[in-house]
Amino acid sequence: MNRIAEIERKTLETEICIRLNLDGTGSVKLDYPIGFLRHMIETFAKHGLFDINVKARGDICVDQHHLVEDTGIVLGQTFAKALADKKGIRRVGSCLYPMDETLVRAAADISGRPFLCFEGGLSGIPLVSAEADGKSAPFQTDTIVDFWQAFTSAAAFTLHIDILRGRSDHHKIEAVFKAAARALREACEPDPRAADAVPSTKGCLPPPVYIV
């Protein structure tokens, strides 16, 4: 089964190309200007065992929102394309992920119906790090919800994310990506008992509506 997809998206605000292999080993190749989200994509790939290549540019001199949101869109589109008609998959997956003081629950349904429920409790205070050039690079934590909203809309997945407890926003967000990756990995996995059957009493799962 060859479940590989590549999507390229270009607008006046961002240019993003993502290549995804659902049946990978967790390898990543990233040319991405936002350090914290780069780390989250690496984490997502590792815990989902997805191979992900990303090359992206955006108007981050204006705001990080455009690039973060559009990254979610393109990643969601690659998932939808790689899954094709969704035959033989488990469809549903979940994960309860502990990370030190933080506990996150994620549940995913590859349903063809886009829906996100995100109960986060993030502080909204930017996380500050240093890029390779030594310059300060705060990350806008409020864009995390935008990322997952864009992802679920583009992929036409249902995704519930609940941060059950935690203190550190870094831990909360990282646990979200780990939990979501493992839930999606389970949902995307082939079900040996399902063969080529579509996992729905309807006989089909609707494709996503293309996002401009």
Assess if residue 209 is contained within a domain: no
Total domains in the fold of the chain: 1
Can you tell me whether residue 23 is helix, strand or coil?
Answer: coil
Residue 161 belongs to what domain range? 4-188
Instruction: Say whether pTM exceeds 0.85.
Output: yes
Half-sphere exposure (Cβ direction) of 23: Cα atoms closer than 13 Å:
9
Assess if residue 198 is contained within a domain: no
Sheet containing 51-58: give its strands across. Answer: 4-10, 14-21, 51-58, 28-31
Assess if residue 156 is contained within a domain: yes
Q: The domain that contains 153 carries what CATH number?
A: 3.30.230.40
Report the pLDDT averaged over residues 74-85.
Answer: 95
Chain mean pLDDT for the chain:
91
State the pLDDT at residue 128. Answer: 76
Element (H, E) at 111: none
Assess if residue 155 is contained within a domain: yes
Assess if residue 47 is contained within a domain: yes
Of 138, 154, 132, nearest to 16 by C-alpha is 154
Tokens (6 digits) for 121:
């409790």
- Residue type, position 22, single letter: L
Assess if residue 193 is contained within a domain: no
Report the pLDDT averaged over residues 74-86.
Answer: 94
Q: How far apart are CA 137 and CA 30, in angstroms?
A: 18
pLDDT tens figures, 101-145? 999 999 999 988 999 999 988 988 888 765 555 566 789 999 999
Q: How far apart are CA 95 and CA 189, in angstroms?
A: 14
Q: How far apart are CA 44 and CA 135, in angstroms?
A: 26
Distance of CA 178 to the CA centre of its chain: 10
Q: What is the DSSP letter of 26?
A: S
State the pLDDT at residue 120. Answer: 86
Assess if residue 66 is contained within a domain: yes
